[in-house]
Homo-oligomer: A and B are copies of this chain.
Amino acid sequence: METQRPRTNLMAVLEDRGYRATSPRRAVARLLERKQKGFTIEDISEELPSIGKATIYRTIKLFLKEGVVCKFPLMDGAPFYCLSRTGHRHHHSICVQCGEVEEFKAAPIEKLLKDAGADIQGQIVDHRIQLYVNCEYCPIEWTR
């Protein structure tokens, strides 16, 4: 049996990859593991004021490289991060009100777009999809 949201042991990932287990990394890892929603670097930095910002950036970037954290733009382009729960290729739906992030998988993009009748020239190398949503727990705001 598995919980609905399996959480990676972030520190273990780094140690497995040969990185050192330092206390700043442990602190960031612990904090991220408790995150239920997406976050900004500023969020992390404010919650761990004793850790240098450069280290926050470096540590998040490390997690990003190791595939346990994802980065994507909000609607206004501002960078936003979240824990990757599956590790597999996926996309994100971000609640524009509360910052909750859900992962979703879709058919391979080529098939998806072909089925949709899109006419793509050339060979697809990579792709990005972001969905901005009102999550099921947030009242819908029609101000946009």
Interface residues of A (CB under 8 A from B): 71, 73, 75, 77, 79, 91, 93, 95-96, 102, 104-107, 109, 111-113, 115-136, 138, 140, 144
Q: How far is B133's CA from A121's CA once the two chains are assembled, in angstroms? A: 8
Q: Which residue of B lies closest to A73 (CB)?
A: B73
Can you tell how many copies of this chain the complex includes?
Answer: 2
- Docked-complex contact B104 and A118, CB < 8 angstroms: yes
How many whole Å from A120's CB to the nearest CB in chain B?
6
Contact of A107 among B79, B117, B131, B133 (CB under 8 A): B117
- Docked-complex contact A128 and B125, CB < 8 angstroms: no
Assuming A129-B129, A132-B127, is B122 touching A93 (CB within 8 A)?
Answer: yes
Assuming A104-B119, A115-B115, is B124 touching A132 (CB within 8 A)?
Answer: yes
